[in-house]
A = this chain, B = another copy of it.
Amino acid sequence: MAQEAIGRQLRSTVKKEGLLELSLARVPTPEPKPDEVVVRIDATPINPSDLGLMLAGADMSAANVSGSPEDPVVTAPIPPAALRSVAGRIDQSLPVGNEGAGLVLRAGSSDEARALVGKTVAIVGGAMYAQFRTIKASQCLVLPPGTKAAEGASCFVNPLTALGMVETMRAEGHTGLVHTAAASNLGQMLVKICLNDGIPLVNIVRRQQHVDLLKGLGAKHVLTSGTPTFLDELIEALAATGATLAFDAIGGGKLASQVLSCMEAAANRTAGAYNRYGSTKHKQVYIYGGLDRGPTELTRNFGMAWGIGGWLLTTFLQKIGPAAAQKLRERVAAEIKTTFASRYDKEVSLAEALRLEEIAVYGKQATGKKYLINPNKGLGR
């Protein structure tokens, strides 16, 4: 019996009494079908997009932990408002983790699958906070020789989202971008892509130290929201770049509306006669994250040619089709140590990821503390 026959897997369950439960289940690793492989997950990041599924809106400041250090069980109450939005998953024990990387241990009978044995691959598809993952060979992205699993753990969510922003800009006829919460790993990738591809980019951050970080990467326009001069500076930057498409990671509050208002002000600088319906150039904000879960407030002082909406990577990839998506993935693999390099503040095991003091750090989305899980750390390989 192979060592990977049984593996630990992080599970998140919402109990109907309004309690979140996190635990490490022992699950059998599915035997690979002919076109599948078994990957030992050596590195998997905790992305903001993972936290929604994992923590289910629970109040982690009121969390408890029981069990042993190797077998912790974390419980936390879910406020009633949050509970409504997770009603569809009650009493389902759900695996977590969008993406990861690791070594292909075994394969099914197909040539495509067998060719991957011994290779380090990046994979996406959920259930990555686990020691082992059986997955289709076609879903594996082979990392360039000499690339460690930790270097390739974030090959999909952030890189493809950043590339998706640029592709969306081109497809929808815009010629420049605005990005909020722009000092994130994703934001740093976007700065590098836009520099490489000659795309004007306006970065909006929330702290002065983030300005220095992005300027150090070569970013030209980096603004700090909330300062007294922010709106004036934003209008100047939008006039200089002609950016009419923004990607917003924050969601709640007034920032999306302010971006549209400033786009309108920038557009009206070059408009001819007075038009009571505002500028004719379409101004768009896509909300792709929810760092602020509060309501979005739109003042609608930006004419009639505007839109705001949700933006989801999977929807984007479906829209462009498998061939175009594969091209993006290949660019990521080729530039994984440069454009798409990720920084992590800490590496933890699965059991360590369930320590309350760690959750308090990585669960607070706006701090910029980025964690990497090594699900096989400390499990005696």
Contact = CB atoms under 8 A, between A and B. Distances in A.
Interface string A293-330: 10111111101111111111011000000000000000
Nearest to A318: B280
A312 B305 contact: yes
The winner among A257, A271, A304 for most chain B CB atoms within 10 A is A304
B303 A310 contact: yes
A241 interface: no
Given A92-B274, A295-B299, A297-B295, A307 B304 contact: no
A314 B303 CA distance: 13
Given A276-B53, A307-B309, A252 B300 contact: yes
Interface in A1-54: 52-53
Contacts of A299: 295
A268 interface: yes
Given A297-B295, A300-B290, A315 B88 contact: no
Given A274-B88, A274-B89, A300-B251, A308 B308 contact: yes
10 contacts: A52-B276, A84-B301, A85-B301, A92-B274, A251-B300, A257-B295, A287-B300, A293-B300, A304-B315, A307-B307
Contacts of A303: 310
Nearest to A85: B301
Given A274-B88, A296-B297, A299-B295, A307 B305 contact: no
